[in-house]
Chains A and B, each alone.
Chain A
Amino acid sequence: MSDHALDPVRPARARRAGVRWRHAAWRQYRLERRMFWRNPSAAFFNFLLPLIFLALFGAIFAEQEANLQVIVPGIAGMAVMSTTFSALAMNLTYLRESGVLKRIHGTPLPTSAYLAGIAGNAVTNTAIQVALITVAGTAVFGLEWPHDWLALAVFVALGVVCFAALGVALSHVIPNFDSAPAYVNAAFLPVLFISGVFYDDEEAPAFLGAIAEVLPLKHLIDGLSGAMVTGEGLADHAPALLVLALWAAAGAVLAVRGFSWDARRR
């Protein structure tokens, strides 16, 4: 700090570098958004699929408010995981194997600005989906508006960080793009089924419950359920926050450590 006071050039340079970084990240983010909308099938799966799930389960559980109160936060949790974990694992595998990552790595674009742009794109999808599901839950299924907006925001944010990091980490073990859907679904679907997305997890067998208890999705859904339905706030879900934070930390370490810009040699 004292160095900077003696040298007025350096803070100015650092500030310019900061402006350039934000500019680069913002440009990358806008590019990712544009490409997202240009790929209609990706856009479809991202937004329509959770709404279709919601509509189907809404029809099955019509008039059963207790079940609807399980399914809406459950689908919201699923949306957080699919927009970050699944989407990033698939996208990064594609970008790495097709050589886009390597090409970008040869330009002056700062790595962190690039990753911020990609992550921002995933977060935007999460935010849109959670908003759609919240609105649909209230407007179509007659649930009340979420009771605790702060808790909702905190759990969505922590869920995003956790599942984004795990998605990046998963991409490191996927050997090629053809096998990416298999890897992603092998992780995504079982977690989805045991974490109480489609039913109240109190009704599941104990051993499945025990597995779900150590995985992050159940805790995310518990937190979302508290925020959206029961009105339990952050203080009531401290253990859930802790489990999510631990997974986020582990995911972040694995995401950074195994990162490769280059396609796997086959």
Chain B
Amino acid sequence: MTAGVAIEVEDLHKQYGDHAAVRGISFRVERGEVFGLLGPNGAGKTTTVEILEGYRARTRGRVAVLGMDPGPRPPALRERIGIVLQSSGLYRHLTVREAVGHWAGLYRAPRDVDETIALIGLEAAAGQRTRTLSGGQQRRLDFALALVGDPELVFLDEPTTGFDPAARRQAWETVRSLRDLGKTVLLTTHYLDEAQALADRVAIVKDGAILAEGAPGDLGSAASRYRVAWRDAAGTLHERETAEPTALLHELTGAALARGEALLDLSVTQPSLEDVYLELTAEPETVA
């Protein structure tokens, strides 16, 4: 995989009238990395991605995609990126192979058309008109059209929203094969398991700002708190949180042994990405 930076975003702001959709976002995506922007709907993920794709102008901040400013939509940049939009239409009267073939012709050094159709698993539907495809098949065609130009960097904006579980797994396989091909992927999602399953690094976004960033596994332990839970002899559940589980366990077990009791169902857990996510994105309690 080529070393270097694929995407650099520094203090990005986007204002729509009175509404600040993006408020000072910064992150870097290394080449060959799958980077996830995770957050609830309306967090500013799509706005951020569409600025990087060249669809929207930023209000301020510095942005570099493959070393270029996407603002003026340089053709050299469009040649090297692939875009899967949240939703986009198809030429309804073309077959899958014709659509992929036409898109291949828009790029200077495209991938092989049939190989691309095979990569996303649409061989069986290659001769079908696009309007007859199922939702999942159409999404796979979206992938094919984004990949046939053989891009170095692929943007996936909520690639599996509205999918059934089987279709999601298939889309995930496609993303993993992109990583295996050495592509850089910027993925937005509001599904936690998707970010966890696919992304090398995740940024949690809410209200136009990044709340936490790191590998999905590290985000949990970054909170560096452990939850110790047990039941007493009466069956009542106790929970304590600590940064020092060793000392706490020593204290708890010592006291229990002294009383001649057992700590039933004793467990020590680290907060998962889910706990971190829910904690960070929780709506503040309204003060009465």
Contacts and interface: CB of A to CB of B under 8 A. Distances in A.
Contacts of A103: 83, 85, 88-89, 145
A31 B105 CA distance: 12
Contact of A98 (B53, B89, B149): B89
B106 A107 contact: yes
Interface in A11-36: 24, 27, 31, 34-35
Interface in A92-119: 95, 97-100, 102-103, 105-110
Contact of B55 (A34, A97, A98, A105): A105
A106 B89 contact: no
Nearest to B77: A108
Nearest to B56: A262
Interface string A32-45: 00110011000000
A107 B78 contact: yes
Contact of A27 (B105, B108, B149): B105
Contacts of A98: 88-90
Contacts, number: 60
Contacts of B107: 107-108
Interface string B84-114: 0101111101100010001101111000000
Interface string B68-82: 000000010011010
B93 A100 contact: no
B93 A35 contact: yes
Interface range, A side = 20 to 34
Given A35-B91, A95-B89, A100-B90, A106 B83 contact: yes
A107 B55 contact: no
B84 to A, nearest CB: 9
A99 B89 contact: yes
Contact of B85 (A27, A99, A108): A99
A36 to B, nearest CB: 9
Contacts of B91: 31, 35, 100
A102 B106 contact: no
A178 to B, nearest CB: 15
Tell me if B's interface is mostly helix, strand, loop or mixed: loop
A35 B83 contact: no
Nearest to A109: B106
Interface in B99-131: 102-103, 105-108
Given A99-B87, A107-B149, A38 B79 contact: no
B106 A24 contact: yes
Contacts of A95: 89
Contacts of B87: 99
A18 to B, nearest CB: 14
Nearest to B83: A106
Interface in B245-263: none
Contacts of A262: 55
Contacts of B55: 102, 105-106, 261-262
A100 B78 contact: no
Contacts of A261: 55
Contacts of B81: 106
B76 to A, nearest CB: 8
A106 B106 contact: no
Interface string B44-77: 0000000001110000000000000000000100
Nearest to B99: A31
A98 B75 CA distance: 24
B53 A106 contact: yes
B187 to A, nearest CB: 16
Nearest to A96: B89
B151 to A, nearest CB: 10
A106 B93 contact: no
Contact of A108 (B88, B98, B106, B145): B106
Interface of B: 53-55, 75, 78-79, 81, 83, 85, 87-91, 93-94, 98, 102-103, 105-108, 145, 149
Given A97-B89, A108-B107, A261-B55, 18 more contacts: A27-B102, A27-B105, A31-B91, A35-B91, A38-B94, A95-B89, A98-B88, A99-B85, A99-B88, A100-B89, A102-B85, A103-B88, A103-B145, A107-B78, A107-B106, A108-B79, A108-B106, A110-B75
- 7 tightest Cβ-Cβ pairs between the two chains A and B: A98-B89, A99-B88, A38-B93, A100-B89, A99-B89, A106-B83, A103-B88
21 contacts: A27-B102, A27-B105, A31-B94, A31-B102, A34-B93, A34-B98, A35-B93, A38-B94, A99-B88, A100-B89, A100-B90, A103-B89, A103-B145, A106-B53, A106-B54, A106-B78, A108-B79, A108-B107, A108-B149, A109-B106, A110-B75
